[in-house]
């Protein structure tokens, strides 16, 4: 049985344990599961891999929307984009849903010191009242320094001679000092550390670039557009904002694509080293005995896959994310689960472990029973979305991911009419090369998944909660 810390947790509070857990939350921007512990063939991620052996790794975790602002809003509100209305990068949580009690604010209201270092919310000054002190992020000073020196934006990949001046390195150095301070206090803490890399530009120290032989960096399993998918299913625009590339929309020269894939892995290794510094400090201070650690990627990323770059779609590579959680006293450290889980599940999980009541209805479910029993039956489906302007109207790609299939209905936001559908069989076609929506042999699956979409997440969640209650 897990160590539980509060009277409201699903598991009873042991009489000898009355302390509340600390929380170290580490977010990593644009990280798809290109990690050794997720099976990547050459990724050099020893710290993340070692951490996985002490935690539970969620093999099928999914984001709510594959872009920074909405994905982070879903994390921190525990609500889906369809509920908050946060679907664009220019929307803040504070302005859009001001009455929502965010995750960090929930911990602050319950006696935690809450600290934000690096990129947590998409907007640096969003929900400032939810933190015990003003957020800190060295990237803004870094950008000011570059602007002052008149440096151009530069290419989408950068080989850096050393790491100490890079924003993520500065932020982690600050966070390590905060752990020293917070560890001496009687009150528990919620420390959120957000790493910018491997977000573009793929800026990493030379030592991390040198960990990879460019000849061994894997090419995409397919660079072709998904057969039978609508033209708007995959787009690429963010990558073309950088120098050294041809005008949008490309195509991307092979030499540049190869450097980008190399740079992405180098940036991941850079991040892995910084995560290692945080975990080493937690262990050195003895905080690992009473600290929940969460490592989360906000969404995935395309590296020329399906002929696209960056995120901004509903394809598997964009919505599939890494999620690894360590809870003190967990029964099976090093376990893995194939259960379908979502970003919105993290908020209810953390307050459940801490023994706090939900401040309002949250749209995810606590993963605590799954952490305790990784092989148990879980959600039948998880949900994602992405807006797209096509066919002279705003469409919403409404996605359902089940154990075997990914289905998307492209629905007119105003009309409610479905103008296109996608269905991919991950057993026979794990790279999603062919849309099966018009294949008559899959008609029943198409209809089943559309029914799940229309019935929505509530029905899936109610069914799961009944199974947990009666188990």
Catalytic residue list: 68, 122
> What are the E-state strand segments in 318-378?
320-321, 323-326, 335-342
Around Cβ 361, how many Cβ atoms within 10 Å? 8
**Nearest Cα to Cα of residue 347 among 168, 199, 130:** 130
C-alpha distance from residue 32 to each of 141, 299, 319 (Å): 27, 7, 9
Rama region for 128: left / alpha / beta (φ>0; ψ in -120 to 50; rest) = alpha
Q: DSSP class of residue 33? A: S
Cα–Cα distance for residue pair 448/169, rounded to 1 Å: 48
Exposure class string for 330-351: b at 16+ Cβ within 10 A, else e: beeeebbbebbbbbbbbbbbbb
Element containing residue 146 per DSSP (H, E)? helix 139-148
Q: Which residue has the tokens 């975790």?
A: 61
When computed from its CA atoms, the radius of gyration of the chain, rounded to whole angstroms, is 22
* Interior/surface letters 128-164, b for 16+ CB within 10 angstroms, e for the rest: eebbeeebbbbbeebeeeeeeeeeeeebbbbbbeebe
- With b for 16 or more beta-carbon neighbours within 10 A and e for fewer, the 438-467 pattern comes to eeeebeebbebbbebbeeebeebbeebeee
């Amino acid at each position: 049985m897990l160590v539980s810390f509060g009277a409201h947790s699903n598991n009873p509070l042991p009489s000898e344990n009355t302390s509340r857990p600390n929380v170290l939350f580490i977010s990593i921007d644009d990280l798809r599961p290109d990690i050794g512990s997720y099976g990547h063939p050459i990724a050099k991620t020893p710290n993340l891999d070692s951490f996985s052996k002490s935690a539970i790794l969620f093999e099928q975790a999914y984001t709510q929307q594959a872009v920074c602002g909405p994905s982070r809003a879903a994390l921190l509100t525990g609500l889906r984009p369809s509920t908050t209305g946060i679907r664009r990068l220019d929307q803040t949580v504070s302005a859009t849903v001001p009455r929502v009690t965010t995750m960090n604010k929930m911990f602050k209201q319950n006696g935690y010191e809450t600290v934000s270092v690096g990129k947590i919310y998409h907007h640096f000054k969003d929900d400032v009242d939810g933190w015990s002190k003003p957020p800190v992020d060295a990237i803004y000073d870094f950008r000011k320094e570059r602007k002052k020196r008149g440096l151009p934006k530069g290419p989408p990949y950068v080989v850096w001679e050393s790491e100490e001046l890079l924003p993520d390195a500065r932020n982690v150095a600050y966070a390590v000092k905060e752990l020293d301070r917070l560890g001496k206090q009687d009150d528990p803490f919620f420390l959120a550390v957000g790493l910018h890399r491997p977000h573009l530009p793929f800026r990493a120290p030379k030592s991390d670039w040198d960990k990879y032989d460019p000849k061994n960096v894997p090419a995409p399993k397919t660079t072709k557009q998904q057969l039978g998918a609508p033209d708007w299913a995959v787009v690429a625009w963010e990558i073309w904002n950088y120098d050294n590339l041809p005008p949008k929309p490309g195509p991307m020269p092979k030499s540049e694509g190869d450097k980008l894939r190399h740079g992405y892995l180098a940036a991941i290794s850079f991040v892995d080293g910084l995560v290692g510094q945080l975990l080493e400090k937690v262990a050195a201070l003895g905080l690992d005995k009473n600290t929940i650690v969460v490592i989360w990627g906000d969404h995935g990323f395309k590296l020329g896959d399906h002929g696209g770059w960056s995120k901004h779609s509903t394809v598997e590579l964009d919505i599939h994310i890494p999620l690894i959680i360590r809870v003190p006293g967990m029964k099976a450290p090093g376990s893995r689960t194939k259960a379908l889980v979502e970003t919105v599940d993290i908020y209810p999980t953390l307050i459940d472990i801490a023994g706090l009541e939900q401040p309002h209805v949250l749209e995810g479910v606590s993963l605590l029973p799954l952490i305790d029993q990784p092989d148990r039956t879980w959600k039948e489906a998880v949900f994602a979305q992405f807006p797209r302007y096509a066919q002279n109207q705003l469409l919403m790609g409404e996605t359902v991911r089940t154990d075997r299939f990914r289905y998307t209905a492209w629905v007119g936001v105003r009309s409610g009419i479905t103008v296109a559908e996608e269905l991919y069989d991950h057993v026979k076609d794990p790279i999603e090369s062919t849309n099966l929506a018009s294949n008559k042999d899959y008609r029943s699956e198409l209809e089943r998944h559309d029914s799940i979409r229309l019935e929505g997440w509530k029905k899936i969640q109610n069914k799961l909660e009944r199974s947990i209650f009666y188990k």
